[in-house]
Structure 1
Amino acid sequence: MKQFQFNDFPNVTGSRVSLRQITDNDIPDLIEISFYDAVRAENVHQAAEMQARINQDCLDGNSIHWGIVDNETNRMVGTCGYYRGLDKGEGELGCVLLPQHYGKGYMTAGMSLAIDFGLHTMGLKRIWAATSLQNGPAIKLLERLGFVKTADVSDDEIEYEWRKNNDL
């Protein structure tokens, strides 16, 4: 079922970063964070194939996947998007940041834009995220954004739900 369909890919502009569609020119810079079904790309060809599958998922209305771009340099620093649950009016929010950009606030800015878009443009009723118990930076990011832990999904995975109703 197509839950969300856009005539044009929705780009979102913020003061520090923007969320935009990933192009073929971006793929070489994103190989190390290119994943599909938890499998990481090992080369440009695999990353391009994965991106084509991601783009089809977006066209089918099952997900939305943005590149996070530093507005000052116009360079891609990571990715984020909604990957599951859209058919129920919900969205699992996920993200990956290029290692050289850790600790610089890019993901906080990008995820804030994605949360706002999910709530106000897509009308999502619930936003959640899952991460590993060992991923301390992701846990801190989610808590900083207003997510609260809601479940231990497995021995190593925990789920968080967005609950903050402040400035978004």
Structure 2
Amino acid sequence: MKLFQHDYFPHITGDRVSLRQIKDADLDDLIEISFYDAIQAKTVQQAAEMQSKINQDYLDGNSIHWGIVDNITDKIVGTCGYYRGLDKGEGELGCVLLSKYYGKGYMTDGMSLAIDFGLNTLGLKRIWAATGQQNVPARKLLERLNFVQIAEADDEIEYELRQASGK
């Protein structure tokens, strides 16, 4: 199912960060957080191959993957996006932050933009996320963003966005 009928990749600008398509020039900085099918890139070449698959997934309407960019420095600090469920009007929201930017609020800002896009542009009826039980920072992030725990299995916890009434 093709959900993205645009001729362009959506660029979302916020006060502090923006969400934009990842460019080849970004890949050197992103090896640490480049993953596809739970496999991490070890080289720029592997990161480029993964990014090519991610771009194709977008064109196929299966996912959307943004670089989170600091508006002042124009450097990518992390990534986020919707990776599953779009064909059902839902989206699994995921994110990864470069370690040197931990604890600075970038992910909260980036994920807030992605949530707004998912609800108001894509019209998603449900947004969820999953993380490991040991990933306390991710769990706190999701809770800050109004996600509530809905399931727990093995080492993974699933969360769902709870919107304020009236939305």
Q: Give how far 1:101 is off.
A: 0.0
Alpha-carbon displacement from aligned partner over 1:35-56 (angstroms, at most 9, x marks no partner): 0000000000000000000000
Q: Name the amino acid aligned to 1:3.
A: L
**Which residue of 1 is the match for residue 29 of structure 2?**
29
**Which residue of 2 is the match for residue 76 of structure 1?**
76
Check if 1:139 corresponds to 2:156: no
Alpha-carbon displacement from aligned partner over 1:121-160 (angstroms, at most 9, x marks no partner): 00000000000000000000000000000011x2100100
Could you say what secondary structure the match of 1:84 adopts?
coil
Alpha-carbon displacement from aligned partner over 1:59-91 (angstroms, at most 9, x marks no partner): 000000000000011100000000000000000
8 Å contact from structure 1 (residues 9, 21) kept in 2 = yes
**Which residue of 1 is the match for residue 162 of structure 2?**
163
- Alpha-carbon distance between aligned partners in 2 of 1:100 and 1:5, rounded to the nearest angstrom: 36
**Which residue of 2 is the match for residue 150 of structure 1?**
150
Alpha-carbon displacement from aligned partner over 1:11-54 (angstroms, at most 9, x marks no partner): 00000000000000001100000000000000000000000000
Calculate the TM-score normalised by the size of structure 2.
0.97
- Alpha-carbon distance between aligned partners in 2 of 1:6 and 1:38, rounded to the nearest angstrom: 28
- Alpha-carbon distance between aligned partners in 2 of 1:165 and 1:73, rounded to the nearest angstrom: 34
* CA root-mean-square deviation: 1.1
Q: Name the amino acid aligned to 1:164.
A: Q
8 Å contact from structure 1 (residues 41, 47) kept in 2 = yes
Could you say what secondary structure the match of 1:95 adopts?
strand
**Which residue of 1 is the match for residue 64 of structure 2?**
64
Could you say what secondary structure the match of 2:115 adopts?
helix
Q: Give how far 1:164 is off.
A: 2.9
User: 5+ residue gaps in structure 2?
Assistant: none
Q: Give how far 1:7 is off.
A: 1.8
Q: How many residues align?
A: 166
- Alpha-carbon distance between aligned partners in 1 of 2:127 and 2:5, rounded to the nearest angstrom: 18
**Which residue of 2 is the match for residue 99 of structure 1?**
99
Q: Give how far 1:99 is off.
A: 0.0
- Alpha-carbon distance between aligned partners in 2 of 1:6 and 1:108, rounded to the nearest angstrom: 26
Could you say what secondary structure the match of 1:115 adopts?
helix
- Alpha-carbon distance between aligned partners in 2 of 1:48 and 1:165, rounded to the nearest angstrom: 40
- Alpha-carbon distance between aligned partners in 2 of 1:164 and 1:100, rounded to the nearest angstrom: 31
Could you say what secondary structure the match of 1:55 adopts?
helix
8 Å contact from structure 1 (residues 69, 76) kept in 2 = yes
Percent sequence identity is 74
Moved over 2 A (4+): 3-6
